[in-house]
Chains A and B, each alone.
Chain A
Amino acid sequence: DSGVTQTPKHLITATGQRVTLRCSPRSGDLSVYWYQQSLDQGLQFLIQYYNGEERAKGNILERFSAQQFPDLHSELNLSSLELGDSALYFCASSVGMGGEGYGYTFGSGTRLTVV
Chain B
Amino acid sequence: DGGITQSPKYLFRKEGQNVTLSCEQNLNHDAMYWYRQDPGQGLRLIYYSQIVNDFQKGDIAEGYSVSREKKESFPLTVTSAQKNPTAFYLCASSSFSGGDQPQHFGDGTRLSIL
- To the question of whether A and B form a pair in one complex, the answer is no
Residues of B within 8 A of A (CB): none
